[in-house]
Amino acid sequence: DDEERRQFCVRICAAAEEAAEKKVKAAKKKLRKEGEDDSVPEDDPARMEMTVKVMISRMFAEFEQRKKQLEARDAQQKQKAKEEQAEREFMDALKKREEKMWEKSRQKRVSGWRNWVKSDGDKGPKRPKLKEERRPDGSGYNSYLDEKGEDYKKDWR
């Protein structure tokens, strides 16, 4: 692990030096394009060393930031998976409980069905009400209802 960490640090330092050199080259190219003297402050070795150190610290900071983001995302995914597992377990337990209750109530349902069948259900389909026929002259076969005063219902409509 220690050797891996050392190799990682060496790669970061090399990448930082390369990035600093590219930055200096780009600055010189820009100055040449503008027609000015192509001397930059990084031509001084002490200044270049300082630039490389700054670049190294930036790269390490970026790496640590990325590492923290990945760890946070991983922790969030683990938490989400844990919550989903708990939800699944809860739903399974609920389903199991409902099935158990359904099985418990079977005898009651079956006996209710048998009693209904034994009593011939609700005695067949309901028939529509009988409508009294009327004669063309307006009197019906059952004049008893007319005498009783059933005509008052017509006034309600």
Tell whether 13 is covered by a domain. Answer: yes
- Average pLDDT on 120-124 reads 66
Long-range contacts of 84-87 (CB under 8 A, 24+ apart): none
The residues facing 140 across adjacent strands are: 134
- DSSP conformation class of 38: -
In a domain, 143, yes or no: no
Q: What's the total number of domains in the chain? A: 1
> In this structure, are residues 111 and 118 in contact, taking their beta carbons and an 8 Å threshold?
no
Does a structural domain hold residue 17?
yes
Tell me whether residue 144 is in a domain: no
pLDDT in tens, 22-34: 999 998 888 888 8
Closest Cα to residue 51, out of 29, 10, 19, 81?
A: 19
Domain that holds residue 52: 2-109
Q: Is residue 55 in some structural domain?
A: yes
| Cα–Cα distance measured from residue 22 to residue 104, given in angstroms and rounded to the nearest whole number | 79
Mean pLDDT of the chain: 85
- For residue 144, what pLDDT is reported? 55
Band (pLDDT 50/70/90 cuts) for residue 148 is: low
Give the tens place of pLDDT for each residue, 61-96.
999 999 999 999 999 999 999 999 999 999 999 999
| Domain annotation covers residue 51 | yes
134 found inside a domain: no
pTM of the prediction?
0.52
Does residue 59 sit within a domain? Answer: yes
- Please give the share of the chain, as a percent, with pLDDT higher than 90: 52
